[in-house]
Structure 1
Amino acid sequence: MRKNFTGIQIAMSFKLLLTDVISPLGKALEHELEREPFKLLTPGADEIDWADSASVAAYLHKHQPELVLNCRGWEEAFHRGGQEMLVTTAKQLAHACGATQTPLIQFSSYAVFGGDNKGTHSEKDALAPLNDTGRAFAEIEQVVAEQLPKHIIVRLSWVIGAYGDNLLTRLLSAFLAGASVTVNRRLRGAPTALSDAARVAVAMSKQIHCGADNWGVMHYCSSDSCTEDEFAEQLLQLLIQQQLLTAEPSLSLVDTEELDEPLSAILGCRRARDYFGIQARSWRPSLLPLVKQWLHNREQSKERY
């Protein structure tokens, strides 16, 4: 029987620009995209200056990507004073993509919302950021929406993974050191694995490649919500079951309202489901594999040094 490789050949001609492959989210995206038959562009520092509009425009003009995935500066934006990379890159990309009419998928965050008592935020809820992180994400959302008709802004809830600085890695470091941990029983979220967030972005990219014409703000988070203390307690129980604790940590609960953090990071994911058929997954089955990966990473780091 004669095989038909037309679909694969067409996909191989689809150029996708990924702005970052160094951060945990960037690594997760690269890992997912490498499984797909796209032509993936991952420029290094010697190829493009993200802070220079002419450099960004020249790169897009030369390589002509058909879709851009931008996560550059996403993780840094959650650290004090670390929002500049996020804002600068998004602004330059929005301008360059607008000039070439190149679709853009831009990652954002639940941090754009305020301190209201809503349990779940929809895509249409008003933005009212409470901190520098939220204000940076709100700013880039506005810039992208104004400059680009064909854009998708993907807002994420709490992101967890075996790499980088996130709720899971912070708790693991403290628990395994036998340190005192304080968690808030009023903060609610839907922990979302880095790999799951990457899965969603790649699914959207594939459908855009196939002609999907759905744009705007999309939410994604896992199907299981919990409070910060519920997540910490489940992780602690898992570590006890796996006999991974060498010292007994102390877990303290607080019941106060944070003034600079949205009480809820739970996102309604209706548009991603209706427009792209994306189904939310639970974070619970991925918890043990993530813990094992984190432990493996730590051992490798010890061997290097």
Structure 2
Amino acid sequence: MRKRVLLLGHESLLGQSLVTQAAAEDIEFLLPGTPSDAWRPDAIDGWLDELAPDAVINLAHYHQQFQLVTADAEQMAAQRQFSERLIESCAQRDMLLCMLSNTRVFSGEKNTPYTEKDELTPVGAQGAVQAALDQLLVRRCKRHLLLRFSWLLDQSPDGLLMRLVNQLQASQRVALAEEWRGNPTPLADAARVLLAVIKQMDCDAELYGVYHYASVEASSWISLAKSLGQELLSLERLSEDPIIEPVNYADQPAAQFEPQNAALNGRRLLFAFGIKPRAWRAGLDDILQPPAA
């Protein structure tokens, strides 16, 4: 890869998957200092001046954006301050900046998958922070890429996927929200998409803008749980199929900070970059395997 790309958040699970896939293609990223001191806003200009990257990928707050149920005020303030400074610094240098977004920027009241043209109507405080950062990136950075994902599935113990796995393993009868829809996306697939986009930008394809990735196909939360149950049975991590009792989504805690409709339309990404969506079910087996020692 000709461009020098600074990767912030390489220690995150998504960052690790991205680095692994890039290494298989002999691609290396520039990495900042140790994670313990990595996300101070006042360190950003030093990294950009010292490392002189052509582009920046910001995964610094990946776990908070996609895996935490709720973030506290201090975490949200840290994400906002860091991201705002990064956006401003990249804008001043006319530097390509790639950031991630989630579906909390939408109300979930739409009946069809969300497109990049839909108005941002965020759910909850975290959604409001994300929407503000999305708008700032688009407004300030001419050379920007904003990749929006729905339900990202990784192996973090407190993450979206493992919370559901723990529910299924804890009881044979599980109450789950009905009519909660999204695009489950295994982490490796998200890394594949991110790497493919950056490689094309390396070829001077000036396809700046906002893009959605939608795995095949949109699913209800209950359908995801049933597929997980089958995988857990095959791995002998369940002894029998769990009984799932549908409950009203509006009565669930998730309704306060997650849109009921989290499904995305990914046609713009396909048409612009030629990146074909993958079926999320095909990636469940790998992501449920124990992490390598």
Equivalent position of 2:109 in the other structure: 116
Whether contact under 8 Å (2:41, 2:86) holds in the other structure is no
Cα distance between partner residues in 1 of 2:118 and 2:210:
11
Structure 1 pair 200–226 and aligned structure 2 pair: CA distance change class (3 A): same
Unaligned runs of 5+ in 1: 1-10, 301-305
Aligned partner of 1:152 among 122, 129, 145: 145
Task: Flag the 1:38–1:100 CA change in 2: closer, same or farther, 3 A.
Answer: farther
Q: 1:188 & 1:266 partners in 2: Cα distance?
A: 6
Structure 2 gap ranges (5+): none
Kindly report which structure 2 residues correspond to 1:1-305, keeping only aligned pairs within 5 A, or say none. Answer: 11=1, 13-45=2-34, 50-53=39-42, 55-77=43-65, 78=68, 79-81=70-72, 82-178=75-171, 181-245=174-238, 251-257=244-250, 258-291=255-288, 293=289, 296-297=290-291
TM-score (norm 1): 0.85
Quote the offset at 1:275 in angstroms. 1.0
Higher RCO (CA 8 Å, separation ≥ 6 residues): 2
**Deviation, structure 1 residue 86:** 2.6
**How many Å apart are 1:151 and its aligned residue?**
0.2
SS in 2 for 1:40: coil
Alpha-carbon distance in structure 2 between the residues aligned to 1:96 and 1:169: 36
- Higher-Rg structure is 1
CA contact (8 A) 1:181 1:250 kept: yes
* Alignment CA distance shift 1:97-1:237 (3 Å): same
SS of residue matched to 1:75 = helix
Give, as a single letter, the amino acid of the residue that structure 1 aligns with 2:54: E
In 2: Cα distance, 1:264 partner to 1:209 partner: 34
Report the identity percentage. Answer: 29
CA deviation digits over 1:254-278, x for unaligned, max 9?
1333354211111111221111111
Corresponding residue pairs, total: 284
Q: 1:22 to 1:85 in 2, by over 3 A?
A: farther
Partner-residue secondary structure (3-state), 1:218: strand
8 Å contact from structure 2 (residues 233, 239) kept in 1:
no
- Cα distance change on mapping 1:239 and 1:202 into 2, 3 Å: same
Counterpart AA for 1:30: V
Task: For 2:35 and 2:259, locate their aligned partners in 1 and report how far apart those are by CA, in whole Å.
Answer: 39
Deviates more, 1:164-173 or 1:194-203: 164-173
TM superposition shift of 1:51: 2.8
Asked whether the equivalents of residues 115 and 265 of structure 2 are also in contact (C-alpha less than 8 Å), the reply is yes
How high is the TM-score relative to the length of structure 2?
0.89
Partner-residue secondary structure (3-state), 2:62: coil
Q: How well do the aligned residues superpose, as a CA RMSD in angstroms?
A: 2.3
